[in-house]
Amino acid sequence: MKKSPWPIALTGFFALLVAAMIFFVFWSLRQRVDLVAPDYYAQELRHQERINAIARAKREGLTPTIQYARELQQLTLQFPESGNWLSATGTVTLYRPSDASLDQVIPFAPDSAGAQVIPRALLPGLWRIKISWQQEAKSYFAEDALMVR
């Protein structure tokens, strides 16, 4: 009587399946995940303050225009000329969702015309530009996505 190859084939199939699952588990544990800020809980507690700062910037017409010139390797923030920009203080955060090691925090320092030029070479991909500033005892916040190609 001839033996059936099915028991060997099924055993081999399940052995390969188990080996593939073990490989996938070890591979996935070694991957970096940088999509969450390290202080996400503290940021969540300040969320309503940020919502108010965003609404205030929109209501007062102080949201900036953001442009990136790849040839010049510079990021330009242009605010409306109506503000008193020399008295404003704050930060500009260049946030890279896919790689936290590329994040940068720059002092907020627009000139009297409301323009700030930031000489930075940005790698291709998605960037979030977060601008937080205080002016005349009021807090403001603006955020925009920038796709560098």
Residues 61-119 have pLDDT tens digits of: 999 999 999 899 999 999 998 767 888 999 999 999 888 889 999 999 999 889 999 99
pTM: 0.72
Helices and strands of the chain, counted as H and E runs:
3, 7
Distance separating alpha carbons of residues 56 and 50, to the nearest angstrom? 10
For the residues 3-19, what does the mean pLDDT come to? 94
pLDDT tens figures, 46-61: 888 999 999 999 999 9
Which tokens sit at 19?
Answer: 């080996």
Q: Which residues contact 119 (CB under 8 A, 6 or more apart)?
A: 73, 74
Distance CA 56, CA 58 (A): 5
pLDDT at residue 27 greater than cutoff 90 = yes
Percent of the residues in the chain that have a pLDDT greater than 90, as a whole number:
69
Range 22-36 average pLDDT:
86
- The pLDDT assigned to 73 comes to 93
